[in-house]
């Protein structure tokens, strides 16, 4: 019997920070959108905003353009700071394709 032992080439992944904590309920919460304005986001995110507002009493959903939009800016530290400063409890990011 011949045995070959070799390295797994997929290497290591380091998890250095946790995902954001989830909210217990969306009722009475403040929710924002961060949009890249691509892939029909201009139609889909407003629809989602309406659905959230219809389904959760007391929810406040910020306008789609409350934060800077576009692939070039939504990943920036400046946009992240604006999101944090807005006091939102949760954020939906879209769209990717």
Partner 1 sequence: MTNAVAGLGLAPDAAMVTFPIEMFLPGSDISPLERRKREFYEGLTRWRSALAAADGGEPPMVRVEGATFEQALARANHVMLANRWGDGLPLWPPTRERVDWILRGAASPRRRTLGTFPPRGGVTTIESCAIALAMAGGRPEYLPVLVAAVGAFLDPESGSAQLQAASGSAFPVVIVNGPIGGLIRLNAAFGCLGPDPQRPAGASIGRALRLLQQNLGGALPGIGTMANYGGMRYTNVVFAEDEASLPAGWETHAAERHAFAPGISSISLAFASGATNIRRRGAKKETPEEDALQGMHRMADFMRVPNLAGLAGYEHGTPGILLLPGVVAQTMAGLGWTKASMREFFWEHSRIPAEHLRRAGGPAWIEIDTSKVVRDSITLDPWPITARAENFVIVVAGGGHPTNSYWLQGYSPGVVGRVIDVPGSFAQLLEDAESDLGPR
Q: Residue 17 or residue 85: which is nearer to partner 1 going by CB?
A: 17
Strand order across the beta sheet in which 30-35 lies: 60-61, 30-35, 90-94
To partner 1, the closest distance from the beta carbon of 39 in angstroms equals: 4
Instruction: In angstroms, give the least distance from the CB of 31 to partner 1.
Output: 7
Task: Specify the residue, 9 or 57, whose C-beta has the smaller distance to partner 1.
Answer: 9
Positions in the binding site for partner 1 (CB under 8 A): 1-19, 22-26, 31, 37, 39-40, 43-44, 47-48, 51-52, 55, 70-73, 90, 92, 95-97
Contacts of 47 (CB under 8 A, 6+ apart): none
| In contact, 31 and 88? CB cutoff 8 Å | yes
The continuous run of DSSP H or E covering 49 comes out as helix 41-55
Residue 85 C-beta: closest distance to partner 1, Å? 20
């Amino acid at each position: 019997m011949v045995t070959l032992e070799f390295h797994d080439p997929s290497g290591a992944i380091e998890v250095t920070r946790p995902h954001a904590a989830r909210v217990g309920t969306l009722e009475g919460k403040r929710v924002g959108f961060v949009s890249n304005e691509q892939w029909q986001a201009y139609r889909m995110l407003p629809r989602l905003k309406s659905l959230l507002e219809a389904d959760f009493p007391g929810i406040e959903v910020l306008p789609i353009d409350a934060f800077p939009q576009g692939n070039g800016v939504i990943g920036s530290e400046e946009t992240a700071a604006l999101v944090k400063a807005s006091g939102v409890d949760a954020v939906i990011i879209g769209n990717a394709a």
